[in-house]
Structure 1
Amino acid sequence: MKLLTFSTLFPNEQQPGHGIFVETRLRYLLASGQATSRVVAPVPWFPSSNPRFGQYATYAKVPRHEERHGIQVSHPRYVSLPKVGMRVAPLLLARAAKAEIGRILDEGYDFDLIDAHYFYPDGVAAVMLGKYFNKPVVITARGTDINLIPQYSLPKRMILWAARNAQGMITVCQALKDEMVQLGVAADRVTPLRNGVDLQRFAPLPERDAVRSELGLDRYTLLSVGYLIERKGHELIIAALPALPDAELLIAGSGPDRAKLEALAAQLGVSDRVRFLGPVAQPELKRYYNAADAMVLASSREGWANVLLEAMACGTPVVASNVWGTPEVVAAPAAGVLMRERTPLGVADAVKALRAAPPERADTRRYAELFSWDATTEGQLRLFRDILQGRSSPVWQPSGVRP
């Protein structure tokens, strides 16, 4: 089958880690030999690549077209409007992608189905495009698109419109499906297909002590991985360090809250035990996962946190907040410990509990091996086939909402 993958969450030359979970799932799907895909991954338009414009300059440097792992990826530009942008984002996104999708069709790639990722604005825009091009649409919900954005009335209405008009929906965990049902989506139209982990990329290293020595680690080591924003909870882990006097913390990631987190570490007198690594590429991240004694995730919201499985695949147990899909990932003692409460005390207590009864690293790795991508790939193929086999001859019907 021929797919068109559509999402703003997809890596590019300038942002190789952006939305890598979407690319990874797609790569495993294509490796089955039963599907092909072209990718349309729009990026915000910005007129200048001058570094003084920060993230916006990065958008300007993203190539219009590139090939990643043998996959053709297009990056059309869409207008992103400050403050009011959230309300009109789906329409602007669809309009920007329309010409590029038309070009792909003109080149002879007549795709069967649009595989969209993230419900708002991407999924809403995908349904608009599906109606325009007479193509069925499947939308994957991934986290904040369902557990946060529907708090806003207009996006919620548009998400429900997209859900009614999509031919299929996927969630990365059961908790997100339950939330969609609470929003008013029919349960039998939503298929939970959890993310997997790349067990070849993330694996135990034979000389862990040597890696720790190379990285200059000589204390009990905690690792926190994620964008430096409040939702990820890095500040809770830093605030737990006074109760963990012999522990050090490595933080991998970049983001707007770095200065605030550095100030918090200084205020609490733990700066000498907190190391900010900045953005870390996956091959190097594997070394940090292996070197750490525990990976800590203190997020307030997570659909399915891939970093948990990546750490476990390296043999490192986790400490995680008990939110959304995380209990579905951390579901056995070999995996790690869930926090009793999402506070600095909750972090400290969970770390102490893990230290008191640590699983064998080999057992943690074996637990991660239960989460290969095979079942997810099979589930996608089954869903896509069912939709395509049940689809009648396409008849374009105006909906009143289209690009």
Structure 2
Amino acid sequence: MLRVLTLSSLFPDATRPNFGVFVERQTIGLAALAEVELRVVAPVGLPPWPLRRHAHYRPLAGLPPAETWKGLDAIRPRFTVWPATQGRFHVAALTRALVPVLDRLRETFAFDVIDASFFFPDGPAAVALGRRYGVPVSIKARGADIHHWGCASATAAQVLAAGREADGLLAVSAAMRDDMAALGIPADRIRVHHTGVDLDRFVPIDRVAAKARLGVDGPLIVSVGALIPRKGHDIVIEAIAHVPGATLLIAGEGPARPALEALIAQTGARVRLLGSVPHDDLPQLIAAADVMALASSSEGLANAWVEALACGTPIVITDAGGAAEVVTGPAAGRIVAREPGAFAGRIGELLDAPPAAAATRDCARGFTWDANAAALRDHLAGLVGRGDPNGNVGG
């Protein structure tokens, strides 16, 4: 039996059901495998009292300390995040908070390996905890954990040290592996571990009927991602203003909403900001679209890309992260420059000559949660087996 402790500060809860949903899905897949026993530790970062009373933090502070989340046993310890410190104290605070929690957990669940599903602050804390309990540690890099925390002056050294000291490393794309190596993390120790997509939920549907249900007449473009500058929604909005008759629906919420609303009014583009859309509702939205467009400045390998392909919806995206690992042919869509004219041109191209939905969907078949879970199990079991001369995993 392989006993896995999944550590992830990027994990959904009742107040943020879409937060880290890809980590949730990966963890559910791993836990479902034979000979795997798993517990989730999903730390919640909160500012010191009395800031926790602020309306933004009260729902998080009210989360249960432990619960069963979609069949997973999950513990949600709190740790203190200090405002205006750029994250430099996150790791120390997280480690201190986790020690008593894991000391108690070890009494009933003697985990064999720690699987840190986000690089910061989870990864450096996991390395310290792995030493404490004498178990190997794996850390996965996904995107902003490397592109932001791995480059920020306050936290870069902690990310690099964890990358060099972890027993195993995963990257969501080959491009992410290269970005990690550029920081000084040994590339030969990094295994590419692609995301998955539920091919039973994300499927092509009758687009005409689906558009009608959304109140859309004419070409439909969909974008999925938080309303933050890095996602480049402003670029797609400006592009849509030059695509005749097109409507853009953006699923996501975030601090850039006021600026995007102003841009929509300025351009006169047909755009609707849908807010945060439950992940269960995304298949119908994405499958209704003629094109999914996302102008990210950086990514690891966006789940929305693969989910669109599974729906038979081609994508127009920037050359960010693992884009070239997803757009491998014309049926998948186009990789374009991060500027409105390029997006408008390629979107128009796909509207004029759309690929067959079945051909687009075929581009997603290499990304499955079954393959994701099996690869993760083998990776973690291999780390545990290194410490056992007989190669045995657990007991």
TM-score where L is the length of structure 2: 0.93
AA in 1 matched with 2:343:
V
AA in 2 matched with 1:133:
Y
Aligned-pair distance for 1:247?
Answer: 0.7
Q: Secondary structure at the match of 2:16?
A: coil
Q: Deviations over 1:2-48 (max 9, x none)?
A: 00000110111221111011111111122222312101111123668
Q: Secondary structure at the match of 2:180?
A: helix
1:241 aligns to what?
Answer: 240
Cα separation, 2, equivalents of 1:260 and 1:201: 33
AA in 1 matched with 2:224:
V
AA in 1 matched with 2:139:
I
AA in 2 matched with 1:79:
T
**Cα contact 1:49–1:60 (8 A) shared by 2:** no
Please give the residue correspondences for 1:1-400 in structure 2 after superposition, counting only pairs within 5 Å: 1-45=2-46, 53-106=54-107, 108-205=108-205, 207-270=206-269, 273-339=270-336, 341-391=337-387
Q: Secondary structure at the match of 1:191?
A: strand
Which blocks of at least 5 consecutive residues in structure 1 are unaligned? 394-403
Q: Which moved more, 1:382-391 or 1:164-173?
A: 382-391
How many pairs were matched up? Answer: 387
AA in 1 matched with 2:215:
G
AA in 1 matched with 2:274:
L
Cα separation, 2, equivalents of 1:64 and 1:49: 19
**Cα contact 1:48–1:60 (8 A) shared by 2:** no
Cα separation, 1, equivalents of 2:244 and 2:46: 47
Aligned-pair distance for 1:308?
Answer: 0.8
Aligned-pair distance for 1:357?
Answer: 2.6
Cα separation, 2, equivalents of 1:57 and 1:346: 43
AA in 2 matched with 1:160:
L
Aligned-pair distance for 1:317?
Answer: 1.0
**Cα contact 2:87–2:154 (8 A) shared by 1:** no
Q: Deviations over 1:293-330 (max 9, x none)?
A: 11111110000100011111111111111112111111
AA in 2 matched with 1:8:
S
**Cα contact 1:147–1:176 (8 A) shared by 2:** no
Cα separation, 1, equivalents of 2:223 and 2:56: 23
Residues 245 and 57 (structure 1), Cα distance of their counterparts in 2 relative to 1, 3 Å cut: farther
Cα separation, 1, equivalents of 2:345 and 2:113: 48
Cα separation, 2, equivalents of 1:85 and 1:153: 9
Cα separation, 2, equivalents of 1:141 and 1:116: 9
Cα separation, 1, equivalents of 2:64 and 2:218: 43
Aligned-pair distance for 1:356?
Answer: 3.1
Aligned-pair distance for 1:138?
Answer: 0.2
The percentage of counterpart residues that share the same residue type is: 41
Cα separation, 1, equivalents of 2:281 and 2:257: 21
Aligned-pair distance for 1:392?
Answer: 5.5
Cα separation, 1, equivalents of 2:40 and 2:280: 24
Cα separation, 2, equivalents of 1:152 and 1:288: 36
1:397 aligns to what?
Answer: none
Aligned-pair distance for 1:366?
Answer: 2.1
Q: Secondary structure at the match of 2:155?
A: helix
Residues 21 and 45 (structure 1), Cα distance of their counterparts in 2 relative to 1, 3 Å cut: same
Aligned-pair distance for 1:195?
Answer: 0.7
Q: Deviations over 1:128-157 (max 9, x none)?
A: 111122221100011122223222234221
TM-score where L is the length of structure 1: 0.92
Which blocks of at least 5 consecutive residues in structure 2 are unaligned? 390-395
Q: Secondary structure at the match of 1:139?
A: strand
Q: Secondary structure at the match of 1:243?
A: coil
Q: Secondary structure at the match of 1:263?
A: helix
Q: Deviations over 1:230-281 (max 9, x none)?
A: 00110101111221131111011111111110011111122xx111111111
AA in 2 matched with 1:82:
P
Residues 375 and 284 (structure 1), Cα distance of their counterparts in 2 relative to 1, 3 Å cut: closer
Q: Which moved more, 1:74-83 or 1:125-134?
A: 125-134
**Cα contact 2:220–2:246 (8 A) shared by 1:** yes
AA in 2 matched with 1:139:
I
Q: Secondary structure at the match of 2:120?
A: helix
Q: Secondary structure at the match of 1:86?
A: coil
Q: Secondary structure at the match of 2:331?
A: coil
AA in 2 matched with 1:214:
R
**Cα contact 2:86–2:154 (8 A) shared by 1:** no
Residues 219 and 49 (structure 1), Cα distance of their counterparts in 2 relative to 1, 3 Å cut: farther
Q: Deviations over 1:47-80 (max 9, x none)?
A: 6899x93432231232211212211111111111
1:396 aligns to what?
Answer: none
AA in 1 matched with 2:233:
H
**Cα contact 2:326–2:363 (8 A) shared by 1:** no
Cα separation, 2, equivalents of 1:370 and 1:325: 14
Cα separation, 1, equivalents of 2:167 and 2:296: 32
**Cα contact 1:7–1:41 (8 A) shared by 2:** yes
Please report the RMSD computed on the Cα atoms of aligned residues, expressed in angstroms.
1.8
